[in-house]
Structure 1
Amino acid sequence: MGKTTIGSEISASLSRSKVAHTFLDMDALAETYPRPPDDRFASRLALLNLRDVWTNCSAAGSRNLIVARVIETQHELEEIRRRIPNSRSTICQLRASDETLIERVRTRELGSGRNWHEARAVELSRSLQRSAPADFLVDTEGRSPLDIADEVVARINWVTES
């Protein structure tokens, strides 16, 4: 369970409440081959896609955007904000113990890159705790995705009017 799972649960909760929204996973917006040589992780491409998808979704009536993304720095947050002008953002940081993070990686990474992903999950968690921008934190330890999503939904002031 991670950011995409929780984002999907938040989306389902908002749908049940009839709150107009769009859920986007930034990793999916970067999935392309070949990637630009000067954009190894396709971050710039993902930001361009974010802008264009949100433009289309908001024109279709969406009023809230849920973005599953690791945001390590204020600069990364500003890059997202530049693509979504005239919006306000709320950053939720999900937290779990190192042991839980490693277990979650083991359930989804079955190939030869699993050791790298385990080490990266712990490294990233420590980096986020030190310096990542966040409006609030949610402890995910021992909790269901639905319970976590319910907390996030309750803590954000969603746009409900047209």
Structure 2
Amino acid sequence: MITIREVAPDDADALALWTDQQRELAERYGEPDLVLETTFPTLIVSLVGYSDDEPVASAVLRWSPYHEAGAVELKRLYVKPEHRGHGHSRAIMGVAESHARRAGATRIVLETGDQQPEALALYERIGYDRITNYGEWKDEEGTFCYGRAIPTRVLIVNGTIGAGKTAVASGVLDALEDRGARAAFLDADALCQTVPDDPSDPYHQGLMFAAIDRIAPLYRHRGYGCVVVARVVEDADDRARWAKAFGDDVGAPEVVVARVTAPLEERRARIDAREPEGRWRDWAHARTIELDDSLDGLALDDVVVENAGRSARETAEELLAEIGW
């Protein structure tokens, strides 16, 4: 059992483990002049695993300089020889993969060689596939490269009119940007703004999903692994529709529905601030009550967060903490 900690890029324990790894690789491959890379300009996270406070394992995750946007590379995966056989490599890889998902990555890649049979067996056992060789060793005989796709993570920010779902969703994007994640924001309501109304498609839901089905693969192709959507979820089948739109041959996406709420008087004040007097304001005042009651009854949300008396960004930060993003 090990405890895995995130450490600084120049952490002494990490550097010592990397040096041990380099020494072992030099012996295995008969190349004593291997140069130890100790800086990673596109670093996402450096990890060290401890057993009884002894540093025994390491891993580094960085944005890949060799692949498409959204690809991350696993480096410096190492476990001290006397601590092998206890699942430490798999454990630290699991933590690295969690960081990759959190960063909005769409794929994780790595490079190894034929003199590391334990590593080859591990990667194949946990679902990594052989990919085209890359990097400085791509033309070297005995090089093996592996990769694994990371399904898209989709966050639907739900809420009645005036609850602040669009503002909070935008705040989520800002928070993800600040941590260096690759993320996209969709105001799905904007895809429904058409006239005249279509009686056969209430709230233009069918039109919206038809558009999303075509848009979603573009975000994946551009390497955005986290997608934040502002949209009411008033149909029990909507979660499956969002999963279908953002799903592809890499597996089902993670879809989280998070509802934001606010007191009626605050919702009314927000409506008044953005809607001119007239039928649209009157409609919104009536609809916010009706929709709020409907969402309460449906209870389709994974989490519910109050969005009142503070900034949308503060609500966004709480929401991200609640869903574990």
Give the TM-score, by structure 2 length.
0.46
Q: Give 5+ residue unaligned stretches, structure 1.
A: none
Q: Secondary structure at the match of 1:102?
A: helix
Deviation at 1:134, TM superposition (A): 0.5
Structure 1 residues 34 and 99, CA, compared in 2 at 3 Å: closer, same or farther?
closer
Q: Report the counterpart of residue 41 of structure 1 in structure 2.
A: 203
Counting only pairs closer than 5 Å after superposition, residues 6-155 of structure 1 correspond to structure 2 as 6-33=168-195, 38-85=200-247, 86-112=252-278, 113-155=280-322
- Contact 1:3–1:68 (8 Å) recurs in 2: yes
Q: Secondary structure at the match of 1:90?
A: strand
The worse-fitting range, judged by mean Cα deviation, of 113-122 and 40-49 is: 40-49
Distance 1:65 1:23 in 2: 6
Deviation at 1:84, TM superposition (A): 2.0
- Contact 2:186–2:227 (8 Å) recurs in 1: yes
Structural RMSD (CA): 1.8
Q: Secondary structure at the match of 2:256?
A: coil
Deviation at 1:78, TM superposition (A): 2.4
Richer in strand (by share): 2
Give the percent of matched residue pairs that are identical in Structure 1 and Structure 2.
29
Distance 2:212 2:196 in 1: 19
Partner deviation per Cα, 1:37-68 (whole Å, 9 max, x = no partner)? 63242211111211222210110000011110
Distance 1:35 1:116 in 2: 15
Structure 1 residues 106 and 83, CA, compared in 2 at 3 Å: closer, same or farther?
same
Structure 1 residues 129 and 9, CA, compared in 2 at 3 Å: closer, same or farther?
same
Distance 2:297 2:306 in 1: 16
Q: Secondary structure at the match of 2:200?
A: coil
Q: Rg larger in 1 or in 2?
A: 2
Give the TM-score, by structure 1 length.
0.88
Q: Give 5+ residue unaligned stretches, structure 2.
A: 1-161
Richer in helix (by share): 1
- Contact 1:101–1:122 (8 Å) recurs in 2: no
Q: Secondary structure at the match of 2:310?
A: coil
The worse-fitting range, judged by mean Cα deviation, of 77-86 and 129-138 is: 77-86
Deviation at 1:34, TM superposition (A): 5.2
